[in-house]
Structure 1
């Protein structure tokens, strides 16, 4: 047996376990967003959301622990949550940062929960570009437009003004679960799933 065959054989049980866990998650109507937000994750999460919503319109429970990542991939998940018919209940755990916080804010205020030790991070978009000055100028213009759009999204989600969001996020703006609740991002801090109110 060569190394490739051995690797495939070792991977087979892991794939079987992953498939079983995914089957359980679908039946339980639970979606897990963990790790960096990228195009692959966004595709997988959006597919799950659409499949679950097409099965029936019972609530979908999304558990999120993410340091953030690609903003446009976060936008894709955000828009899917708003688009589908089934209500989405969002549960923040660990770290809900950057693009992760954007995804979290997609759920209706009354459906946003946090576990006690969760930390939230809001900040302005960032990135790097090289090339001609004209391209850099275009890129910076797009970054400014993106920041205004995100400020408005978080203003709508929290009840704060867009101006306050903009000022608060000039630098990394970390919030504990309690601070995020007081800020309007979190509806309720919970320690048990029994504390979640089923959306009507």
Structure 2
């Protein structure tokens, strides 16, 4: 009667500890338990990797109060015939700049337009659309580099009217030959090579 029964169970705390060792990465065999599964910690859906930094919040466009109501700063600068190229050059950016150039040229064909450039460059075709419009409008387009004008950004900086191309003291300007690649049959590669050489000649002239 002084002996403990052979079938006595382990304390609840021991069962909990054993249950916690039965994870997928544990070498111990999973044992039955009456305790509910421990919930996994929630992870921010923006951070699937806990070590990954959350994405930065988008920069909000400043809004200015005017007599007619609120106006974003880009539209306010447009009223003073000031345009801004502050990102890479692609078709969407080119369409906006071309529309602004045409609008200002139609509003006053004699007054200058000032284009501020801080761009790493981008698409040749999109950049050439901006360049052609700058040469097409009757008013002079003055260009100013701040920050960086690289690749197509530098090309557009040089597209300003003669004597009206400027760069701020700490800005950087970089230009290079056209970049591209080709694949396919020999004839396809030859055509692409001729095309990129043609683009280089166009940019150089």
Q: Give the TM-score band, short-chain normalised.
A: 0.5 to 0.7
Residue deviations 1:21-41, cap 9 Å, x none? 232022111100011100000
- Superposed, which structure 2 residues align to 1:22-171 within 5 Å? 22-57=74-109, 58-152=111-205
- Superposed, which structure 2 residues align to 1:8-27 within 5 Å? 17=63, 20-27=72-79
Alignment gaps of 5+ in structure 1: 1-10, 153-200
The number of residues matched between the two structures is 142
Contact 2:88 2:122 in 1 (8 A): yes
1:16/1:73 Cα in 2 relative to 1: closer, same or farther (>3 Å)? Answer: same
Partner SS, residue 179 of structure 2:
coil
Partner SS, residue 79 of structure 1:
helix
Shift of residue 127 of structure 1?
Answer: 1.0
Instruction: Flag the structure with larger Rg.
Output: 2
- Computed over aligned residues only, the root mean square deviation of the Cα atoms, in angstroms, reads 2.2
Aligned equivalents of 1:56, 1:42: Cα separation in 2: 21
Residue deviations 1:54-111, cap 9 Å, x none? 1113111100011110011110101111100121111011111111111111112201
* Structure 1 segments of 4+ aligned residues over 6 angstroms from their partners: none
Aligned to 1:6: none
Structure with the bigger RCO (C-alpha within 8 Å, sep 6+) is 1
- Superposed, which structure 2 residues align to 1:178-193 within 5 Å? none
Aligned equivalents of 1:23, 1:70: Cα separation in 2: 25
Normalised by the size of structure 2, how large is the TM-score? 0.64
Shift of residue 15 of structure 1?
Answer: 7.3
Residue deviations 1:113-172, cap 9 Å, x none? 1100111111100112322221111001111111122122xxxxxxxxxxxxxxxxxxxx
Structure with the larger helix share: 1
Contact 2:61 2:73 in 1 (8 A): no
Alignment gaps of 5+ in structure 2: 1-57, 65-70
